[in-house]
Amino acid sequence: MKQKVVFFLFSLVFFLNGNAQCAMCRAVLENEEGQTAAKGINDGIIYLMAIPYILIGGIGYIIYRKYNTLKK
């Protein structure tokens, strides 16, 4: 169980550093000089992508906890 937690935390760190732009967004935003819009769009895409995983994980945890409580 401890290995799963360490793996999850390790993968979460690399998940936050990934590039999230599609090819079209990247092509349009690479022409900008400051690159501030590109960084903002990357952060927004990663935020929108993370929310469903957090919700599914929370629901899974609640189901797991209820299942183990009923088993005892």
Question: Which is more confident, 44 or 30?
Answer: 44
C-alpha pair distances (Å), 40 with each of 7, 13, 36, 47, 49: 28, 19, 6, 11, 14
Q: How many domains does the chain have?
A: 1
**DSSP code of residue 50:** H
Question: What percent of the chain stands above pLDDT 70?
Answer: 68
H helices within the chain, ranges in order?
2-16, 23-29, 36-71
Name the band, by pLDDT with cuts 50, 70 and 90, for residue 47.
Answer: confident
pTM over 0.75: no
Farthest-apart Cα atoms in the chain, separation = 61
Domain containing 36 equals 2-71
